[in-house]
Structure 1
Amino acid sequence: MNETTAGADQYVPTDARSLADLRAAAPDCQGCELYRDASQVVFGRGDADARVVMVGEQPGDVEDRKGLPFVGPAGHLLRRAVDDARLPVDQIYLTNAVKHFRFQQRGGRRIHQTPDRVHIVACRPWLVAEFALLRPEVVVVLGATAARALLGPSFRVTQSRGRALPWPDSAQRVQDFPVGPAQVVATIHPSAVLRADDRETAYRGLVADLTVAGELLAG
């Protein structure tokens, strides 16, 4: 990595005892170049005792401006899907694999750009630190970027979505993560529903996948 992608290791406090400690330190992170153009870091939100952790890709334009994950259009759709899947909202912790918004400026608009692997790797220490303080029963992986960050580059959401998987799966062992939750459920990112030609079908698929997570909690 060059100096702009040195990674977040030096910015993650080794003595963090709470998510609040991590959240307070995150704004100083310059582990990759994304901090330069983003408005602010967008850290996870939710209770440390949450039974479900949902991991997405990166903040979007609205999240970057407000400093909170999943508060834009995709976040509103996710909340509706969570309700339809009967998941307990107060038992969900929301975060992203990459904490800064990557975008391309086009006139007055900021167009989302998918994070590269270098950004996922650079930001990984924050995700590891979050999981060290979380003890969920289920992790919901939202989309390919989150899947690569958590389960390795060989994992394919399209092949494994909507299934209860062990954490970590022996075929994609994630060595540097703390002992994790019992189950993982992968699904599409809610933004994929917004981009779909047939939104209703895509939405039903998202709800069906989230319902599997709910059944694990109940089970």
Structure 2
Amino acid sequence: MTAHETTVGADGYVPTGARSLADLRAAAPGCQGCELHQPASQVVFGRGDPDARVVMVGEQPGDVEDRQGLPFVGPAGRLLRRAVDDAGIPVDQIYLTNAVKHFRFVSRGGRRIHQTPDRVHIVACRPWLVAEFATLRPDVVVVLGATAARALLGPAFRVTRSRGVPLPWPASAERPEEFPVGPAQLVATIHPSAVLRADDQQIAYRGLVTDLGVVRGLLAGRGSPTPAVRR
């Protein structure tokens, strides 16, 4: 049976009229909107202050996140935390989540190897992302990588062409009517896992920090400064 045949979408699992992230988080473990719930250890919902000024959206949980049930706690998450600190963004002002809430992987030699979610998984999980945003009121939305960009901005958006450039949110969204967020802006950048895979990690890391420096500038109302990376 293919992914398309087993995917029904999360619409029927997102609680109608949920008023808080706590309501959504409590309902998320019951989601069977696509086949990814079967091999995954657990659903990995977002975390952070519901009143956070920054919402960061990544791709999906990794192996460590799947086991712990929290987003961005593995190697990529630790690198993101360091980049956030170097860019000068207070970590308590950030809400972290993923476009897809279950870990997609293939087992090989006793290891669970990451597989990028297909479009069908992104679409199936989109109702959770929409429901999260319905309870959030960020000043800045940060899109981390291509999968998150496809989920929020549509398949035509290219992070490599538009990274570090403030865009109006939710007007830049693929279906802005689904995101009842007040005046805010969006900044796209690479996923921290891309830094870990880069041939020159130092250059890739500095680019990530520079993009996050734009976020810091927006929060401070200072435009888009270039931060100094701490060594």
TM-score by length of 2: 0.92
Residue 126 (structure 1) aligns with: 128
* Equivalent AA in structure 2 for residue 119 of structure 1: H
Report whether the alignment pairs 1:59 with 2:61: yes
Q: Give the secondary structure class of the aligned counterpart of 1:9.
A: coil
Pairing of 1:144-155 with structure 2 (within 5 A): 144-155=146-157
Which residue is 1:31 aligned to? 33
TM-score by length of 1: 0.97
User: Percent of aligned positions with the same letter in both sequences?
Assistant: 84
Per-residue CA deviations over 1:18-67 (Å, capped at 9, x if unaligned) read 10000000000000000000000000000110000000000000000000
SS in 2 for 1:11: coil
**What is the aligned counterpart of 1:109 among 100, 111, 123?**
111
Contact in 2 for aligned 1:138/1:183 (Cα 8 Å): yes
Whether 1:190 aligns to 2:195 is no
Cα displacement (A) at 1:153: 1.0
Q: For 1:3 and 1:180, how far apart are their aligned partners in 2?
A: 37
Deviations 1:121-163 (A, max 9, x none): 0000000000000000000000000001111111110000011
Contact 2:170/2:179 (CA < 8 Å) preserved in 1? Answer: no
Q: How many residues align?
A: 219
Give the root-mean-square deviation of aligned CA atoms.
Answer: 1.4
Cα 1:168/1:17, change in 2 over 3 Å:
closer
Identify unmatched segments of 5+ residues in structure 2: 222-231
Query: Which one of 26, 44, 47 corresponds to residue 42 of structure 1?
Result: 44
Q: Is the contact between residue 152 and residue 173 of structure 2 (CA under 8 Å) also seen in structure 1?
A: no
Displacement of 1:170 in angstroms is: 5.4
